[in-house]
Amino acid sequence: MALLTVVTAVTATACGGGGVVGGAPGTSGVRDPYFPKAGNGGYDVTHYALDLAYDPGTHHLTGTATLTARATRDLSALNLDLKGLDVGKVTVDGVSARRYRDGQELTVRPREGIDRGARFRVTVRYSGAPVTVTDPDGSEEGWLRTADGALALGQPTGSMAWFPGNHHPSDKATYTLAVTVPKGLRAVSNGEPAGEETKGDRTTYRWRTTEPMASYLATLALGRYDVERTTTAGGLPVYTAVDPDQAKASRAVLARLGEVVEWGERTFGPYPFSSTGAIVERPGDAGYALETQNRPVFPGAPSTELLVHEIAHQWYGDSVTPKTWRDMWLNEGFATYATWLWEEEHGGDTAQRTFDALYAGTYFDEAGSDEELWSFPPARPPDAAHISGVPVYQRGAMVLHKIRQTVGDGPFRALLKGWAEKYRHGNADTDDFTAYVEESAPRKDFGGIWADWLYGEGKPRRP
């Protein structure tokens, strides 16, 4: 993500459920330190099949979500996260199930319990006017209406506004989408296109994501787009969808997409997904750019730096995904450092110079950003409103630069690639990272970096 944050309050709610069938109910959250109700315990989703229809004219969404999952304990009931929308019939393995709603929790109680280890399918039919979710930091996501359609964005919790799921980054799954829109509009999502079909005055677009994806990285862009399908020099399929209003302003930067991806491959290792691209909406259609898997979303034509940032996330964030929202610096520190490296290798400032400017307080134009940089340690944001704060980005990148200073350029390069390789398509947290760095360079001492830069309060005494 790349975002200017506005700070507001945090809310947290609690609810429960009871069980009578064999087993116990799955939990209504996975104990995320900042979003306790996000995700659900007791099962692991392996695949989402979403069949959606939306008409921007009436702002009405109808959907059928079929989740294929595996029980991680004996379950008498399980929860899904869904915000707004009316839930119709729910089935588990084709048999009608009871359902209850309490805030964002949709509890599904199957007629019979589900045994630990069993694979099962939950199908939820739903409809209504999808909502926009306001994050603890004041940014907006979920279902955003645009001039010619809609845009679904989900970091951190917006995906529950358009499909029921296990909405926490720790549960990644593959996806298939079929999206029906009025003829003349287009539906663009993650992964690769898998066909389109027009019947009467409606067109259905199919998309398929075959590499695991965290639900916050799922996107759906509905509207009129200039679409281009090409390949990079290395043969990777590229799919870009640009609002015609932004086509001219986007042309030069998107022409460099292949170059950016291939620079990423040299710098971070093999590209983790089977296609790349970009979705460009109009400025104001969203408050932030997001590294949605395969093709990042940009509200307005991106700068090269922003394109590098979001493409770098494909390795750091999308492929190596944080275990909890506390580990956001593993996304943003890496994506920020990627832009420092890009600058360094393309005639701009060296990473050392960027680091020095940050430390000296001469980096930011905006008043207040300098104090904000030292306001909390990157690995310990004080609350949910700060997971996208300045320290998570710039001070996170400074942690990586301190590691580079300690191990030297060659080993640091190997470390960037090794981290992306070790946790490819998985999840990792800050402890995994510090352990990885220490194992990679056993003769170096990182204790001071962790204590002062990663976890320490205030500005470290020495740069």
Could you tell me the smallest distance in angstroms from the CB atom of residue 288 to Zn ion? 9
Nearer to Zn ion, 211 or 332 (CB): 332
Among the candidate windows 59-67, 300-308, 324-332, 352-360, which touches Zn ion by CB under 5 A? 324-332
Could you tell me the smallest distance in angstroms from the CB atom of residue 390 to Zn ion? 12
Among the candidate windows 1-9, 61-69, 216-224, 373-381, which touches Zn ion by CB under 5 A? 1-9
Could you tell me the smallest distance in angstroms from the CB atom of residue 306 to Zn ion? 9
Could you tell me the smallest distance in angstroms from the CB atom of residue 310 to Zn ion? 7
165: Cα separation from own chain's centroid:
14
Nearer to Zn ion, 87 or 338 (CB): 338
Nearer to Zn ion, 2 or 214 (CB): 2
| Best CA proximity match to 330, nearest among 343, 345, 315 | 315
Q: If 0-12 CB within 10 Å is exposed, 13-18 middle and 19+ buried, where does residue 104 land?
A: buried
Could you tell me the smallest distance in angstroms from the CB atom of residue 332 to Zn ion? 5
Counting contacts by CB under 5 A, is residue 1 touching Zn ion?
yes
Among the candidate windows 275-283, 325-333, 437-445, 450-458, which touches Zn ion by CB under 5 A? 325-333
Nearer to Zn ion, 298 or 374 (CB): 298
Among the candidate windows 78-86, 154-162, 171-179, 332-340, which touches Zn ion by CB under 5 A? 332-340
Could you tell me the smallest distance in angstroms from the CB atom of residue 32 to Zn ion? 19
d(CA 179, CA 20): 38
Could you tell me the smallest distance in angstroms from the CB atom of residue 13 to Zn ion? 28
Residue 192 sits at φ, ψ, to 5 deg, of -120, 150
Nearer to Zn ion, 335 or 407 (CB): 335
Q: How far is CA 154 from CA 276, 405, 414, in A?
A: 19, 35, 32
Q: How far is CA 227 from CA 185, 279, 375, in A?
A: 12, 9, 43
Among the candidate windows 33-41, 140-148, 331-339, 445-453, which touches Zn ion by CB under 5 A? 331-339
Extract the runs of DSSP E, i.e. beta strands, from 29-185. Answer: 43-55, 60-71, 75-81, 86-92, 95-96, 98-102, 105-109, 119-128, 132-134, 140-146, 149-153, 173-182
Counting contacts by CB under 5 A, is residue 379 touching Zn ion?
no
Could you tell me the smallest distance in angstroms from the CB atom of residue 322 to Zn ion? 12
Task: Return the ∠ at Cα 21 (arms to 18 and 23), rounded to 5°.
Answer: 80
Which residues lie closer than 8 Å to 422 by C-beta, 6 or more apart? 428, 436
Could you tell me the smallest distance in angstroms from the CB atom of residue 335 to Zn ion? 4
Could you tell me the smallest distance in angstroms from the CB atom of residue 71 to Zn ion? 34
Among the candidate windows 110-118, 252-260, 326-334, 366-374, which touches Zn ion by CB under 5 A? 326-334
Q: If 0-12 CB within 10 Å is exposed, 13-18 middle and 19+ buried, where does residue 457 land?
A: exposed
Nearer to Zn ion, 50 or 290 (CB): 290
Residue 308 sits at φ, ψ, to 5 deg, of -60, -45
d(CA 301, CA 285): 12
Nearer to Zn ion, 148 or 332 (CB): 332
Q: Name the β-bridge partners of 426.
A: 320
Nearer to Zn ion, 238 or 387 (CB): 387
Choice from 218, 335, 373, 407 touching Zn ion (CB under 5 A): 335
Among the candidate windows 20-28, 116-124, 141-149, 327-335, which touches Zn ion by CB under 5 A? 327-335
Among the candidate windows 2-10, 196-204, 220-228, 295-303, which touches Zn ion by CB under 5 A? 2-10
d(CA 397, CA 403): 10
Nearer to Zn ion, 1 or 75 (CB): 1
Could you tell me the smallest distance in angstroms from the CB atom of residue 317 to Zn ion? 7
Q: How far is CA 74 from CA 22, 23, 119, in A?
A: 7, 4, 12
Nearer to Zn ion, 2 or 181 (CB): 2
Nearer to Zn ion, 104 or 324 (CB): 324
Binders of Zn ion: how many residues, by CB under 5 A? 4
Nearer to Zn ion, 107 or 331 (CB): 331
**Can the peptide bond before residue 377 be classed as cis, meaning omega within 30 degrees of 0?**
no
Among the candidate windows 198-206, 328-336, 340-348, 433-441, which touches Zn ion by CB under 5 A? 328-336
Which residues lie closer than 8 Å to 84 by C-beta, 6 or more apart? 128, 129, 130, 131, 161
Could you tell me the smallest distance in angstroms from the CB atom of residue 330 to Zn ion? 11
| Best CA proximity match to 179, nearest among 160, 214, 148, 151 | 151
Tally of residues, the chain: 463
Mapping DSSP to helix (H, G, I), strand (E, B) and coil, where does residue 214 land?
A: coil
455: Cα separation from own chain's centroid:
24
| Best CA proximity match to 313, nearest among 455, 155, 160, 139 | 155
Give the residues lining the site for Zn ion (CB under 5 A): 1-2, 332, 335
